[in-house]
Structure 1
Amino acid sequence: MTRKRRMIQGALFVVFVVVPLVEIYVLVQVGQVIGAGWTIALLLLDAVLGTWLIRHEGGRAWRALQDALAGGRMPAAEIADGALILIGGTLMLAPGFITDAFGILLILPFTRPVFRRLLAAAVGRRLLLGVVDVRRPGPGPAEGPVVRGEVIDDEPPSRD
């Protein structure tokens, strides 16, 4: 099994097994401290706050994207902000305090730049992995048959 595949499996295990178990544990602990009714009320308040925040910040990000496009500049930060707000909103959909807290951090305008830099670094690493190293020789005779031939050019040389 490759290292990349193990990392993906580990991340999926954390996302689908560890995070829900931790969320349940935190919900039970909060429920024991403040009561079930107050815990549900807090989750509802959190959902209302998250919905308002997503609408507000999503609208700001959309306007910033439109302004960047109208100004003729590359909207890299605006696209990253939109992606972070989308991810944060998705986390807000999951019931629980930990995912909601992390989602709010992704959505808030004063914490989003930190995550924008992390996102840019991750995307940059991902793009660099796809770049071919020009110093390394490409495929040669050892990788396939060599067909010898002659190039015939019927066009006269241009006088540019």
Structure 2
Amino acid sequence: MVRLLLFLAFLVVPVLEIWLLIQIGSVIGGWPTVALLIADSLFGAWIVRREGRRAWRKLQEALQTGRMPDRELADGGLILVGGALLLTPGFLTDVFGFLCVLPFTRPLMRRLGSWFFARRVKAMAAASPYANLGVPFPRTDGQGFDGRGVDGHGGAGSAGAPGGKVVHGEVLRED
């Protein structure tokens, strides 16, 4: 599914960018469109530099205080992605780049990314051959573990696993 979405993104986004450039160019003219793209990139580079420095300082503060820098690392990743999008010519990518870089929209993008990656991790864990081993799975609210396996039950061999098959055996070592 992700491969299909990436394929469509790499196919559809450039077509939309060209269409949008033509539409804006037909309204304001060719040279003003180019000037707007250049100004947009320069402004984006300035914001990326400023927010990157701020994120780096906050990361260093978190590490010095011994706190886990999860938010700071996520912000750094978003600034990196946003900077790449802002340096890509086009207005559509610039909108998404500014959403990732600006300090008042970054928390929304951080929550969106967290939600997306949590879904991906759960789907990958559920498809894993080790899904029914009863390993506790992190709760979605970030408050520890829920005590269930990734299959939503207690895992194989637990009291709440419907149809779970337990195979008893012993380990033989050949020393």
Band of TM-score, shorter chain: 0.7 to 0.9
Are residues 13 and 128 of structure 1, via their aligned partners in 2, closer, same or farther at CA, if it must alter by over 3 Å? closer
Where 2:17 maps in the other structure, the secondary structure is helix
Of 104, 110, 128, which aligns to 2:98? 104
Residue 137, structure 1, aligned to residue 156, structure 2: yes
Alignment of 1:1-160 (within 5 A): 7-129=1-123, 130=125, 132-133=131-132, 134=134, 135-137=154-156
Deviates more, 1:124-133 or 1:25-34: 124-133
Alignment partner, residue 155 of structure 1: none
Counterpart residue identity of residue 53, structure 2? G
Distance 2:74 2:64 in 1: 18
The number of residues matched between the two structures is: 141
Q: C-alpha offsets along residues 21-58 of structure 1, whole Å, 9 cap, x if unaligned?
A: 00000000111111100000000000000000000000
TM-score normalised according to structure 1 size = 0.79
- State the 1:101 CA deviation: 1.0
TM-score normalised according to structure 2 size = 0.73
% identity of equivalent residues = 48
Q: CA RMSD in A?
A: 2.3
Structure 1: gaps of 5 or more residues: 1-6, 152-160
Distance 1:75 1:47 in 2: 29
Alignment partner, residue 156 of structure 1: none
Distance 1:18 1:125 in 2: 24
Larger-gyration structure (1/2): 1
Counterpart residue identity of residue 38, structure 2? L
Counterpart residue identity of residue 101, structure 2? I
Are residues 77 and 147 of structure 1, via their aligned partners in 2, closer, same or farther at CA, if it must alter by over 3 Å? closer
Structure 2: gaps of 5 or more residues: 135-153, 158-164
